[in-house]
Amino acid sequence: MLVMILHPDVQDKVHAELDTVVGRGTIPTFADRPRLPYLQAVLYEVMRWNPPASLGLPHATTTSDIYEGYYIPKGTIVLFNYWAMKDHGYDDPDRFDPTRHLTPDGQLSPESRQHNLIFYGFGKRVCPGRFFADHSIWAATAVIMSTLKFGKAKDSSGKYIEVEPIFPNGLISCPAPFSCSVTSRPVE
C-alpha cells in the first residue's frame, strides 16, 4: 500500500494490467497469475526494495570451509545480510523499479524468481512455508489491487498529507504508520 501511494504510476500500471487481463471488477485467480507479469514484478520489487527481515536466521557451519579466501571454522554462526544482498547487481538499488524484473517485451525475467528466493532462506534450512507465503502474498495483492485504489490522505484543510517511507529498526521491517486514502475501484 505504501508503495502504491509513493508511486501512483506503478499503481496505474497494475490496475491497467488487471483490467486488461481479467477485466475490471473481476477477481484474478491463480490461473491468471502467469498473465500478470507486471503485478508479479511489483511484488518482487517490494521484497527487494525493503526486505521484511534484514538478517536471515542464524546458521552454524557443519564443517570448516574456505570462502573467497576467508577461513570459516566448523561451528561458526553465520547470518545472511539480506539488506546487503538486495542491492547486489542492481543499478540505483534504492529506487523502486518493478521493470528491473521484466524482459524488454514486458514478460517476467526468468532470473527474477531466483533472485527473490533469497528472502526465504538457503539450503537445508530454506523456509518450508515459502510456497504458501508466495501464493498468499500474490493472492492478497491481486484481490486488493483489483478492488481498491490507494492515495494520499487529506488534512482538515483539504491539503494532501505527504507520506515518508519510514521503516523503524527491528528484527522485522515494516513501515511506520502513515495516513492514506483507500477508495473502491468502480466496476464498469
Q: What is the pLDDT along the chain (188 residues), one digit of tens a residue?
A: 999 999 999 999 999 999 999 999 899 999 999 999 999 999 999 988 887 776 667 778 889 999 889 999 999 988 777 666 666 667 788 889 999 999 999 999 988 876 677 777 777 767 788 889 899 999 999 999 999 999 999 999 999 999 999 888 777 778 889 999 999 998 76
3-state DSSP helix/strand/coil percent for the chain, to nearest 5?
40, 15, 45
Within the chain, strands assigned E span 59-60, 65-67, 70-72, 77-78, 148-151, 181-184
Question: 120 near 127, Cβ under 8 Å?
Answer: yes
- Report CA-CA distances (Å) from 51 to 3, 43, 181: 13, 11, 25
Tell me, what's the pLDDT at 30? 97
Crossing angle, helix 8-21 and helix 37-49, to 10 degrees?
A: 150
CATH superfamily of this structure's domain 2-52+82-184: Cytochrome P450 (1.10.630.10)
180 is in an annotated binding site: no
Instruction: Check residue 172 and give its pLDDT.
Output: 77
pTM, two decimal places:
0.84
Q: Break the chain into its structural domains and give their ranges.
A: 2-52+82-184
CA distance 46 to 174: 11
